Amino acid sequence: HEGRPDIARMHWLEHPARRAVERRLAADRSAVVGRRCAN
pLDDT at 38: 83
39 pLDDT more than 70: no
Single out the residue of 36, 39, 38, 2 nearest to residue 12, CA to CA: 36
Phi and psi torsions of 28, nearest 5°: -120, 15
Instruction: Identify the pLDDT of residue 1.
Output: 66
Q: What is the pLDDT of residues 1-33, one digit of tens each?
A: 678 888 999 999 999 999 999 999 999 899 999
Cβ-contact 9, 22 below 8 angstroms: yes
Q: How far apart are CA 30 and CA 12, in angstroms?
A: 13
The pLDDT of residue 4: 86
Element holding 21 (H helix, E strand): strand 18-26
Which residue type occupies 11?
H
Instruction: Supply the pTM of this predicted model.
Output: 0.70
